[in-house]
Chains A and B, each alone.
Chain A
């Protein structure tokens, strides 16, 4: 998409050139590219002309308020650039309060701490199986073989979908997320949508005790069931929202641990404290940015914005803001405010899968470190990173000497 003209209401002093979809070739870690925004010459809130033009919120206080302020910002459309006009709203992420509450009330219990606790043993056995499959090889592509497979496996189980379909689903996912062009990617998305729709149709007569059943049994405030379109749309969103996000958060965490021997050894020596370490690791491992649109003309935190302006919340940068997290690039296990990290967003749209993602990462750390306490980046295999509304590594080559 060509660069947009700078709108008249944007002063030149607030324009800064930053492309969220493309980084200079000398960066291997997308975070390092994003952290160039901490340079003193970058305005606190700035406007970049790329991808239709959008504002950027990258300091902690601005980003937190950008998430909380649903009066000034709408969640639709949720992406930079926006999807083509007329696109169906993704439920619940593109539904604003108060309508959003209808969906949150159903999904909240399904992904609550209690619900996640109930499936912990199943997650642990899946994780153990994935790690056991690579442990003896003394090397693996962590992104492809562990982090890229776990969320799909957990999703199928949550939805009650047959594990026999795992390889077929992974193939669809691969086309959707890694397809070489937009036609292939759309084909992947269409196939996933068709699979989800077919499964829901087949379950409708006798909904099971799983998230598919929760959606089929859901009722609105008038006691009416959700429409089939709402159910399919929600299931599709749950699926795609939990794929690359968890995968890349895990890959970033393992990337940083691979590069930090002292921190890694501290984790290995204190396996029982992993639930305490995980917030600091998630603070560093943020994979997503989140777009909003301005609802009405106004002045927001001192900046003139117009209805329809696109705004991007950058939680990775917010989590590295030295004004909120001193020495922000350093892993500190006793950081007093580490739970305030906003990698899962904030406000009413904070990630509904936050407890599930947290538990998946805790369990994977526990099972990994039991088997592979020492590991490093493979110096012979180049990292392949990508950017966008989700950023991460397409591969994460790790090596270790003994399992």
Chain B
């Protein structure tokens, strides 16, 4: 599964973990995150995340 990093706070969105507190069950693909979801670290939206290359 893939990971994405928030530009502003470095929070990592890990698709394997999701963001259960934010309504995203484990396994939620980044593409399927709704536009109104916000970063649990700093509040920005998914538009401010970039893919973490592994």
Contacts and interface: CB of A to CB of B under 8 A. Distances in A.
Interface in A102-118: 104-105, 108, 111-114, 117
A354 B7 contact: no
Contacts of A350: 8-9, 42-44
Interface residues of B, number: 16
Contact of A348 (B35, B38, B42): B42
A108 B48 contact: no
Contacts of A346: 8-9, 42
Given A350-B42, A350-B44, A354-B43, A342 B8 contact: yes
Contact of B36 (A114, A342, A351, A352): A114
A108 B38 contact: yes
A134 to B, nearest CB: 33
B47 interface: yes
B36 A68 contact: no
Interface string B29-54: 00000011010111111011000000
A113 B36 contact: yes
A184 interface: no
Nearest to A337: B7
A93 to B, nearest CB: 13
A112 B36 CA distance: 8
Interface string B1-37: 0000001111000000000010000000000000110
A145 interface: no
Contact of B44 (A64, A67, A114, A354): A354
Nearest to B21: A105
Nearest to A340: B7
A347 B36 contact: no
Contacts, number: 48
A: contact size bracket? 20 to 34
Interface string A338-357: 01101000111111101100
B43 to A, nearest CB: 6
A313 B40 CA distance: 23
Looking at A64, A349, A355, which has the most chain B CB atoms within 10 Å of its CB?
Answer: A355
A104 B41 CA distance: 9
Looking at A114, A340, A347, A349, which has the most chain B CB atoms within 10 Å of its CB?
Answer: A347
Contact of A68 (B10, B35, B40, B44): B10
A60 B41 CA distance: 20
Contacts of B35: 113
A243 B27 CA distance: 41
A346 B9 CA distance: 6
Contacts of A347: 8-9, 41-42
Contacts of A349: 42
Contacts of A111: 43
A355 B42 CA distance: 12
Given A108-B43, A350-B44, A68 B38 contact: no
Nearest to A116: B36
B51 to A, nearest CB: 16
Contact of A113 (B8, B9, B38, B40): B38
Interface of A: 64, 67-68, 104-105, 108, 111-114, 117, 339-340, 342, 346-352, 354-355
28 contacts: A64-B8, A67-B8, A68-B8, A68-B10, A105-B21, A108-B40, A113-B35, A113-B38, A114-B36, A339-B47, A339-B48, A340-B48, A346-B8, A346-B9, A346-B42, A347-B8, A347-B9, A347-B41, A348-B41, A348-B42, A349-B42, A350-B8, A350-B42, A350-B44, A351-B43, A354-B44, A355-B38, A355-B43
Interface of B: 7-10, 21, 35-36, 38, 40-45, 47-48
Among all A-B residue pairs, the 6 with the closest Cβ atoms? A350-B42, A113-B36, A346-B8, A114-B36, A347-B9, A112-B38
Given A64-B8, A113-B36, A348-B41, 16 more contacts: A67-B8, A104-B43, A105-B21, A108-B38, A108-B43, A111-B43, A112-B36, A112-B38, A339-B7, A340-B48, A347-B8, A347-B41, A348-B9, A350-B8, A355-B38, A355-B43
